[in-house]
Structures are given as C-alpha cells and as structure tokens.
Structure 1
Amino acid sequence: MAPSSCSELSLEVEPGPASRSGFKWNFNRADYGHGSTQQNWDDTLPDVSMASSSSSEPSLRIEVRPDSRSQAESSWNRVAYSGIDTLQYRTDLVINSLPADSDFNSLAKDYFDNSKNTLVLCTATGDCLRRAQNNHEIIRLAVKCFDEEVGTDKNKSGKTLEELKRFKAAEEPFFEELRALAGRVHLQQESLQRKFNARKGTLEQKLASLETWRRVSLAFFVVAFFSLLIFYVVASTKSLKHVITALGSALTLAIVPVGTWYNDRWNRNKEKEKKKLKLTTIMEFHAACTPIIRVLVFRLEVKFKSLLHSVDSVLTEGYALNVAMDKIKKDLKDVTDTIPDVLRRADDLGRETIMDWREILTRMMETL
C-alpha cells in the first residue's frame, strides 16, 4: 500500500480469519513539516503492503524499488519516529499535572519543545542530504560521459554538458532552510541555558535556606522544650514534686521521637529539592547536543558551494571542460565523503533525543 500523499505515511494491518481486530498506524509529517523537506516524499517511500495468511497473524510484504533502496531505510526510520505521538501525549499529561504557576512548568515545556525542534532538524537534514545524494548520481554520470568522450570540444562533449545542466537544474537550495532550522534550535537552546542557570541558582539558594532553617528550627524547638520544662519545675517545686518529676520524665522521653520526626521532615524536603536540582542539571546536559550538526552542515555547505561553482564555471563562464572536470571530480569526492558522516550524526542525534526525552519524562514522574 503506497501512501496517498507526501504528508502521511500509513500502515494498515488486515486481520486474519481468526481475528476480528485491526489497527492503523499513521505518522503525519504535517505536524513536523519543514518546508521543502516534504517534497518528493512519495519518491522516497518503499512499496508496503499487508497481506493475510491462512493463520490469524497478519503477514508483512515490503517491495522496494531497485532505484530507491537507499531511501528505504530512511523511510522506516521515519516510521520508527512515529512513536513521538504517544511520547508527546504522555509528556502533555505530566506537564498538565504541574501547577500552572510553577516555574518548572514553563521550563519543561520549553525543553520538550526544543527536543521536538531538534527532531525536526534531524529529519530535515536527513531528507535534504539524501535527495542531494540522488542528485549527485547525475554528476557522476556526467563524469562517466566525460571519461568516455574524446577531446574538449563542446560538440564532442554534449552528453557531459547535458548532464551538468541537468544536475544544476535538479539542485535545491536546502542549506538556507537547514541554517534557519539550526539557528532556531540554537537560539532556543541559548534561552533554555539561561533558564537552567536561573533555576539551578534558585534551587541551590533554596537548599542552603532549608539547611539553615532546619538548624534554627531544631535549636528553637530544643530551647522551647527546656524552657517549658524549667518553668514547670520552678513553679511547682514545693507543692507537686511527684507530678513535676513524672512530667519531666514524660517530656524527656517525648523529645527524642518528636525531634527525630521534625528532622526527618526537613530532610525529606531537602532531598526533594536535591532531586529537582539533579533533574534540572540532567535536562541542561541533554539540551545542548546540536552544535556538532550545525558545524557539520556549515562545512558541507562550503564544500557544496565549491562543487556548484565548478559546475557553473563550465556552464556559464566557458571554462575549458577538461580543466573544470578535474576540479568537479575533486569537489564531488569531498561532498560525497562528507554527506554520510553528517547523515550518521543526524540519525544518531535523532535517536539520542528520543531516548533523552523518555529518560527526562521518567525522571519527572519520579521526582515531581
């Protein structure tokens, strides 16, 4: 079953004879749309169909077009990310359980929004670079044609020039889009960093204040206890010695459990604040994880512009083809060697972001 549009990927399971249930799994990319990255979505998807066998279990048949095997893995990675819907639902439940005026409420929303934007950046980077890899097959064909053709005369290099023109026409200016996405995530992370620092400072001050008040309150409790005991002893020395003796014994026995309860209560509050501080520190660590992608995309853009300039030098400036092709071959090698590394980093970052999201959500449910 092929998807009906470039914005939705659906998997449908037809139940077997012994089963009366079925389900449908949708991943709506419109929720995480990012401009031109949604183009040619249909071209990157494998043909997928579900067929029922004679048993009650559905069977899965995947047909991958021979010319799109490199996109098949990417498509299934996107399907794996569809679990983000359930994760977002759980996140909303946890955040909605926080007090509306809580300072952590705003911080948690910003953190998870940053995680979502990071996933958008990873998906956009993967989509754009995989399309670029497909377009580079055109320029490889141009290099092959050049090697087969003789001389540098344009009449004898028609196929090479034709393929170079086709490559130039097929290229998409996606680096501007990636820069905008990466810049937005970067600004959001800078804002988060300031909020993390402010919250950590507040929690550290609160911890210090709790410890101070714990000591002061315990000292006040002990002083008040002995003051009361002395008052009763002085007031009733002559008349009710046996009563005062019993009262003093009772108060002496009571001070230990009461003091212990009082101290435990302060310690519980202190441990709760420590957990909040630890959670904030972990969130801060996980939030700062995209600079490497920004740097790699920037380096790739520089190499890619060099390749385009080499192609333009032949098509528009009339450079000798045999001289320009040497530069094109070198630039093409630089670009094709860099793209897999950026793709790997983007895929790793996407998986790490989802894992960090789940970890933070679990810690929030345990802490708050």
Structure 2
Amino acid sequence: MGCIQSSSNPTTPSSSSGSTPSISKLTLTQDLNSYQEAIKSDPNLQSFDSNLQYRTSQAINSLALEVEVRSLSLNSLKEVTTSLLDMNQEVVNILIESKEDIWNNDELFVLVQDFFDLSLLTLDFCTSLQGCLKNARHSLSFINVAINHFDKDGGGDYLGTLDYLKRFEGCEGMFSEEFFDLFHAVYARQVKMLKKLQVQKEKVDKKMRNVETWRRLWSMGKWVNSLWKKYEMELKGQRELINAMSWGSFIVIKDLDNIKALVDKLGVEMEGLVRNAQFAINEEEQEAVGVAVDEMKTTVNDFAKTIDELSDYSDTCCRDVRNARSVIVRKITKYPSGSV
C-alpha cells in the first residue's frame, strides 16, 4: 500500500496483560484496506499516496544516515519536519479541491434545474387533467338530465330523453391525444430523474466512504481534522438535497400511477355510457330508451365518483409537487453563499 507498512518482530516482548493498545490491530487493518480500495478509484488519492511515499522515504533515509554517524543535525530534523508539514498540506489541498468539487458540481446543479423544470411541467399536466375533468362533468350533466327527464314522465316523452342522450353523445372526448402525450412525457421524465438522482447519490456515498477513511488515517491536528469534518458536512448536505429530490420524484410517480389507473377506469365507464346512449338513439323506441336509462343508472354514480377521485388526486399531485419544491428551496437556502 505504499509507504504505510506493518511488520512483526518475534523478539519484541508482548504487551503486558491488562494493557490496551491505542489502536487495535483489527481497526488499523480495516482502515488500511479501506485506504487501499479508495486509492484504486480516486486519482487524487493515488497522487497523494505517491507523494507521501516519496517524502516519507526521504525523511527515513535522512534519519537513518544521521543515526549511522551517531548524530542528529538540525538540518535533518528540519527536513523531517518539512516533510510532515508538506504531507499535511497535501491533505489540505485535496480538501480544498474536494470542496470546490462539491459546490461547483455541474451534475448536481443541472439535476436541481431539471427537477424544478419538471415540477412545473407536472403542474401543467395537473392543470390539463382538471380541464379534462371539467369536460367529463359537462358530459355527465346531460346524462343526469336525460335520466331525470325519463323518470319524471315515466318515459312518456322519451323523445325528449333521446335529445339529451344525443347531446351527451355529441360531447367531445374527455381525454385528448395531447393529454396522454403530456402524461407519458411527464411520467417518463420523472422516472428518468429518479434514476439520475440514484446515480448521483451513489457518487456522493462513495465520497462519504472515502472521507471516513481519510479522517481515520490522517487526523493530524485540530485544524486539518476540522477541514475533514467540514468537507464531510458539506457532502452530507449534498446527499440530503439529493434524498429530498429523490423522495419528491418518488411520491409524484406514485401520484401519476394512481391518476393513470383512474383515467383508465373513467374511460371504461364512459365507453359503457356511450354504448347505452347509442343503443337508445339507434333504436328510437320507448322500450329501448328505458333499457338504456336503466343501464346508465347503474354506472352513472360510479362515473361521478371516479371524476371526484381523479380531481382529488390531481390536487394531491399538485400539493406534493409544491411541497417538494419548497423542501428543495429550504435545503438550498439552508447553506451559506457558495454552497449548493
């Protein structure tokens, strides 16, 4: 693993019973293994490790040479001290670069922008849905009038009932092709957004694991350790933001699933009502009108209930979208200028 090595000396006396080493062998081994794994995937760590090996070798060689001649000069001590300070500076440089990487993260910035743009598109979809439901209620009004008219005179004026059924049949469709195109576009983008957020979260989690490894291996002084802690807190803030957006997208996707199921149900119910109306119109007989009206009575209440349920889900989706936007804004403004 570079300059950090472990060796065992069989002649070295074992620790006295009851004594506790400051760092257990198991913990150290785990930390070193984590460090080795991090090096493989992090160019910054690779560069740091190479520099660390070189400077440590210089310091050790200098000390070894002085020991051979039984003297330690001020120059050798200065060289060792300088090497240690340089190693600390390498840590600081990586921290500074990492900080810039966090708050100037183009991927996260684009994701936040896309999240807000998509939330507006989702609100547009909900507005479109409410417009469709308005058309559905308009169609429902003709059915209710037709049923009431037929019941009022016992079917005597069945031609008047047929007139209302014809008006119902002539109503434009509830859901246009543009509505379904908008739904599929919003749904696909929400799913894609959730996947992108999951990928970004994995990247942040990987950085978090690296930070934990570095803090265990390089806690060299309060100042450097405070930098590590600050970097870790900033990463946590970034992850918190990603989690909030992920949860918002997940909730909206569930809302859209429920809306689609109810839209399909409403479509089936509408088809049944239209078939009955067409049957009465085509037959143009009192008995046929009576049969159609009776059939409609069994489904018209379900039709009205589904309209109301869809309206409620549209309101719920709008509320969830706005809540998610508010949460993200609070997460962003929670951090000082220069943060996410």
Q: TM-score band (shorter)?
A: 0.5 to 0.7
Structure with more contact order per residue of length (Cα contacts < 8 Å, sep ≥ 6): 2
1:306 & 1:105 partners in 2: Cα distance? 49
The counterpart of 1:359, out of the listed 303, 327, 335, is 327
Q: Distance in 2 between matches of 1:109 and 1:143?
A: 52
2:107 maps to a residue whose letter is D
Task: For residue 174 of structure 1, give the secondary structure of its aligned residue in structure 2.
Answer: coil
State the alpha-carbon separation in 2 of the partners of residues 194 and 356 from structure 1. Answer: 17
The within-5 A match list for 1:87-236 is 99=104, 102-151=106-155, 156-174=157-175, 176-218=177-219, 221=220
3-state DSSP class of the match of 1:211? helix
Distance (whole Å) between structure 1 residues aligned to residue 148 and residue 160 of structure 2? 10
Q: Which amino acid is the alignment partner of residue 141 of structure 2?
A: E
Q: Is the 8 A contact 1:304 1:331 kept in 2?
A: no
2:323 is the alignment partner of 1:322: no
Distance 1:210 1:106 in 2: 25
User: Displacement, 1:284?
Assistant: 0.6
**What is the CA deviation profile of residues 53-110 of structure 1, one whole-angstrom value per residue up to 9, with x for unaligned ones?**
xxxxxxxxxxxxxxxxxxxxxxxxxxxxxxxxxxxxxxxxxxxxx74x6111221122
Q: Distance in 2 between matches of 1:336 and 1:173?
A: 13
Q: Who is 1:282 aligned against? A: 244
* Equivalent in 235, 252, 265 of residue 227 of structure 2: 265
Deviations 1:319-352 (A, max 9, x none): 8221111111222111111211211221122123
Residues 142, 165 of structure 2: 8 Å contact kept: yes
CA–CA distance in structure 1, aligned partners of residues 258 and 297 of structure 2: 27
Distance 1:184 1:318, change over 3 A: farther
Tell me the equivalent position of 1:295. 261
The one-letter code of the counterpart of 2:304 is: T
* Structure 2 CA distance for aligned equivalents of residues 205 and 282 of structure 1: 19
State the number of aligned residues: 228
Q: Could you say what secondary structure the match of 2:334 adopts?
A: helix
1:306 match: 272
Task: List per-residue Cα deviations over 1:206-248 (Å, max 9, x = no partner).
Answer: 1111222233333xx5xxxxxxxxxxxxxxxxxxxxxxxxxxx
Q: Distance in 2 between matches of 1:313 and 1:267?
A: 75
Aligned partners of 1:182, 1:201: CA distance in 2, in Å?
A: 29
Alignment root-mean-square deviation, CA: 2.1
CA distance in 2, matches of 1:151, 1:349: 44
Q: Hey, what's the Cα distance between the residues in 2 that align with 1:104 and 1:309?
A: 52
> Structure 1 unaligned runs (5+)?
1-97, 222-258
Structure 2: gaps spanning 5 or more residues? 1-102
Structure number with the higher helix fraction is: 2
For 1:165 and 1:131, the matched residues in 2 are separated by 16
**Aligned CA distance change for structure 1 residues 203 and 317 (closer, same or farther; 3 Å):** farther
TM-score, length of structure 1 as denominator length: 0.58
Structure possessing the higher radius of gyration over alpha carbons: 2
